[in-house]
Homo-oligomer: A and B are copies of this chain.
Amino acid sequence: MTLSLTSLKNIPFIRQGDNLADILVNSLRETNIELQDDDILVLAQKIVSKTEGQMVNLQTVTPSAHALELAEKSGKDPRIAELILKESNEILRVRFGSVVVEHRLGFVCANAGIDQSNVKGDEDSEYALLLPVDPDKSAKEIRDALEKITNKKIGVMIIDSHGRAWRIGTVGICIGLSGIPALIDERGWQDLFGYTLKITVVGVADELAAAASLMMGQAAEGTPVVHVRGFPYPLGEGSLKELIRPKEQDMFR
């Protein structure tokens, strides 16, 4: 069994309102890939957010008193602090220049996933990029459009890079998906000796996100889409919610 992940060629610079499905079809062709049933496309959050107009001109942001306080504590630009507050349900920690939050989408992450690299507007202003409004919905819309064009049954996932509590280095994680399972629940399966497994729920969507992230690079490579063939589980519906540990089961709150 082989899993293969290929970076798509010639993804152009993305702007608000761009039709991602058309861009993907074009890039698949230029990469010499013909979509098959059960293929998956993994997209960097950034290109989805840009098409949705999630870029914010920092000149339009006025920091509140709370934001000024957070900026002081974290060393962040007060306008970024304001956006972090707006995008978060709760501030969990401020440490080492990072603001760890529960994002409005429910997951825990640093700085509310707000990004300033590879983000530029048409004028000479500073911009920040927020995460997609509803990444599961974005993934579903892109998937529906692609399935309509290609007549193949596929999965679509949107990923971001997150730091970890106890380990160095960011890794790709899933922030939205459609047509892919989020988790594989192996509880009740039997091991090689017939013992029943008790606790294994595997975060397959996050494992695939990490794999795809490897093929995206982070800086100037500009390969924000990865084609996946050979995902070893049947495609099926998953959602971001399944991947988020409920607050009351969180080991650290």
Contacts and interface: CB of A to CB of B under 8 A. Distances in A.
Contacts of A1: 6-7, 215, 223
A71 to B, nearest CB: 16
Nearest to A217: B232
A213 interface: yes
Interface string A163-188: 01111111111000000001100100
A206 B100 CA distance: 21
Interface stretch (A79-87, A133-141, A196-204): A196-204
B167 A245 contact: yes
Nearest to A201: B169
A249 to B, nearest CB: 6
Nearest to A102: B166
Nearest to A4: B4
B169 A211 contact: no
Interface string A201-226: 11111111111011101111011000
Interface centre among A205, A242, A251 (most CB of B within 10 A): A251
B211 A170 contact: no
Nearest to A203: B169
A90 to B, nearest CB: 12
A222 B198 CA distance: 18
Interface in A1-42: 1-7, 13
Nearest to A3: B5
A244 interface: yes
Interface centre among A169, A171, A173 (most CB of B within 10 A): A169
Interface of A: 1-7, 13, 93, 95-96, 98, 100, 107-108, 116-118, 120, 161, 164-173, 182-183, 186, 189-193, 195, 197, 200-211, 213-215, 217-220, 222-223, 231-232, 242-245, 249-252
Closest 10 CB pairs of A and B: A169-B203, A211-B211, A210-B210, A108-B166, A189-B219, A207-B210, A117-B191, A2-B6, A4-B4, A118-B191
